[in-house]
Structure 1
Amino acid sequence: MTVQHSNQAGKLILAGDIGGTKTLLLVAEVTGNQVRVVHEQRFSSAAYSSIVPMVQELMQALSSVENPQRKIDSACFGVAGPINGRFAKLTNLTWSLDADEIAKACEFTNVKLINDFEAVGYGIEALDVHDFVTLQQGHLEAQGPRVVLGAGTGLGVCFLTLCGDHYQVFPSEGGHVDFAPADELESTLLRYLRNIFGHVSYERILSGSGLVAIYEFLLQNNVSQPPLELKQAMQAGDAAAAIAAFALSGKDPLASEALDLFVKIYGAQAGNLALTLLTKGGVYVAGGIAPKIIDRIKSGGFMQTFLDKGRYKQMLSNIPVNVIVNEKVGLLGAALVASRL
């Protein structure tokens, strides 16, 4: 989506995307599904004791670019952690959030907390055609249900159905359903992971740590060792990113096989979710991994297993499938939710 600074009068809101590493805060004017940026700022989450000092710092900076007489109408924060009513606890950060405390300290009338992946679901309506890579055009049913799934640190899933003039997001723990192998290699993978974890969910495979697990399984299955350069890269930093890089560059055949298997299982689970709710409004692939491996996703393995549902292949061929490549979709979703408070 193309967002721009604007002086047009709209509802002035504050949106946040709060994670254990970084927090993005956005002040924007929202009219319908159009989000126009007034001011945006990035913070290191661990450098602050709570969200309140971040917001206060943002508001101080805002006074230099916006009429100080204008007040924030409402605020919404997408939080990387579980939501319990007006409270939230971040999974990878020590501090918690209390919507009422934020409202009081920052003098906001309305404050809402939502899960960060729920915010991604809401953000779809703020995107435009340039924010997607289309895997299958299908036949969009304008008011049909939607599903969003996204592999990153974990595997997020949410469903959307039309409610009045916009889509309502229903959070889900669909990433933790049982992994169902589709062939003998995947059955062997399941046995390997079951020996490690006991219960094997899709998240054990469709995540950064899942890609590492697939690669380690293939190494064991092939009685092999990773190239020294890849082994050092895995030890030095993000192991999943190192495997993906070696796969995409063709430097390691087993890394390439691991990524192909990851993509196939990703497509299969996307097809499972499409069948579960008959998502004729589209399947949307989000998360941090997909945009980084988009060429491998487009190469065919994802859609092959998405469609490989026997008698329901034809029906699935009519469902639009898109990858979201706008990394700020969650922030935009929180902005839309704030505008509706």
Structure 2
Amino acid sequence: MSYVLAGDVGGTKTVLCLYQVADDNSVGGSMEEIYKAVYPSAGHERFSDLITAFLAEVTQRPERACFGIAGPIQDQCCTATNLPWVIDARQLAEEFGFADVYLLNDLEATAHGMLHLSADEFVELNPQAMPQAGHAAVIAAGTGLGQAIMAWDGQRHIVMPTEGGHCDFGPNTRQEDALLLFLRERFGGHVSGERILAGDGFGNLYDFLRTSGFAAPNPAIEAEMANEDRNAVISHHGLAGDDPLCTEAMRLFVRIYGSEAGNLALKCLPRGGIYIGGGIGPKIRAALESGVFMQGFLDKGRMARAIEHVPVRLSLNPEAPLLGAAHMALLRSQG
């Protein structure tokens, strides 16, 4: 038996997990979770401090490690987004005596993880889906908006990280035209998809609707927002359908999410499917299943036919990035 250490490194929390690997040399590997710990990311001077703390809690020693990190990877070095950490794979390998350390962008890790989830960990959103072998892609709304492409070479998927979440927001209705103008004024210029399709997006949508006079604000809900996470409050009432502003904010979020997923689909024609990852998707599952997401996905004029049979799979497993990092560590050990 051997062991690998995997990590999902985010701005708020870091999850580290030790896996036991069966010595069967199977492609994709046979792994068993041994120990997992969650640490607050803030307040630690170095990422390696978390590894030190984790290794002190286990008796087994991992030979290899792989970490999915919220930040761009350049030459196996990463300056983490929203954290004062510079993470260098070579330095970590030397410090802890690992045979190999590999860094992945968090969406790259998510994409690898999607390939190792079981069928019951997905919900199909496209009633016209016709699964085929081929390219796939991941879109994930969470703290930010991530996207990755999974190119099919005839035998396996090769994951390509992107910064697609920062591409221009493209409105598709008069209401969305007005939203673009509102956000352009708010942010002083360029408006990316991430301004809408991320945690803070619910607040931006609510403010737009309130300012445009879509409906009168509910004083009780406004009081909730003043004392709690306003995006969570908007999402909660949007799902409940008990407030016009929150309900419309949720509908807009879901439609634009579908539209951006459709844009990604047109760019890579993922016959193997579009995977929806990130922390927001499972929380708003009912809204995603309402049909509004697919309306946005297929609102592509004459090119709707090019993507109408693409599977659109919502992942219900929040640990896809962790699993992806673990399997990448295993894959590298197999050469």
TM-score, normalising length from structure 1?
A: 0.90
Q: Distance in 1 between matches of 2:53 and 2:192?
A: 41
Q: Distance in 2 between matches of 1:226 and 1:291?
A: 27
Q: Distance in 2 between matches of 1:132 and 1:111?
A: 30
Counterpart of 1:3?
none
2:98 counterpart SS class: coil
Residue 77 of structure 1, CA deviation: 0.7
Q: Distance in 2 between matches of 1:164 and 1:105?
A: 39
- Equivalent in 202, 206, 217 of residue 197 of structure 2: 206
- Equivalent in 126, 129, 151 of residue 119 of structure 2: 129
Q: Distance in 1 between matches of 2:143 and 2:284?
A: 15
Counterpart of 1:244?
235
Residue correspondence of structure 1 range 268-287 to structure 2 within 5 A: 268-287=259-278
Residue 334 of structure 1, CA deviation: 0.5
1:17 maps to 2:8:
yes
> Which moved further from structure 2: 130-139 or 177-186?
130-139
Residue 275 of structure 1, CA deviation: 1.0
Q: Distance in 1 between matches of 2:31 and 2:124?
A: 23
Residue 60 of structure 1, CA deviation: 2.7
**Which digits, 9 at most, give the CA deviation of each residue in 1:204-254, with x for residues without a partner?**
111121221111010011175532232222222322111011111222111
Percentage identity across aligned positions?
Answer: 41
- Confirm or deny: 8 A CA contact 1:35 1:126 kept in the other structure: no
Counterpart of 2:54?
58
- Equivalent in 33, 37, 47 of residue 33 of structure 2: 37
Residue 318 of structure 1, CA deviation: 1.2
Q: Distance in 2 between matches of 1:54 and 1:141?
A: 41
Residue 47 of structure 1, CA deviation: 4.1
- Confirm or deny: 8 A CA contact 1:19 1:80 kept in the other structure: yes
Q: Distance in 1 between matches of 2:329 and 2:216?
A: 51
1:285 counterpart SS class: strand
Counterpart of 1:103?
93
Number of residue equivalences? 325
Q: Distance in 2 between matches of 1:270 and 1:81?
A: 21
Runs of 4+ in 1 over 6 A off after TM superposition: none
Question: Cα–Cα, structure 1 residues 337 and 297, in superposed 2: closer, same or farther, change >3 Å?
Answer: same
Question: Cα–Cα, structure 1 residues 283 and 223, in superposed 2: closer, same or farther, change >3 Å?
Answer: closer
Q: Distance in 1 between matches of 2:234 and 2:265?
A: 29
2:217 counterpart SS class: coil
2:208 counterpart SS class: helix
Q: Distance in 1 between matches of 2:92 and 2:228?
A: 36
TM-score, normalising length from structure 2?
A: 0.92
Which amino acid letter does the alignment assign opposite residue 50 of structure 1? R
Q: Distance in 1 between matches of 2:220 and 2:88?
A: 46
Which amino acid letter does the alignment assign opposite residue 292 of structure 1? K
- Confirm or deny: 8 A CA contact 2:112 2:324 kept in the other structure: yes
Unaligned runs of 5+ in 1: 1-8
Q: Distance in 1 between matches of 2:224 and 2:79?
A: 33
1:46 counterpart SS class: coil
Counterpart of 1:329?
320
**Which digits, 9 at most, give the CA deviation of each residue in 1:103-149, with x for residues without a partner?**
1111101001111111101111110012111102511122x111111
- Confirm or deny: 8 A CA contact 2:275 2:315 kept in the other structure: yes
Which amino acid letter does the alignment assign opposite residue 82 of structure 2? N
> Which moved further from structure 2: 15-24 or 83-92?
83-92
Q: Distance in 1 between matches of 2:116 and 2:32?
A: 10
Q: Distance in 2 between matches of 1:48 and 1:24?
A: 14
- Confirm or deny: 8 A CA contact 1:29 1:37 kept in the other structure: yes
Counterpart of 1:294?
285
**Which digits, 9 at most, give the CA deviation of each residue in 1:298-334, with x for residues without a partner?**
0010011211222233332211000111000000010
Q: Distance in 2 between matches of 1:94 and 1:101?
A: 17
Counterpart of 1:5?
none
Which amino acid letter does the alignment assign opposite residue 247 of structure 2? S
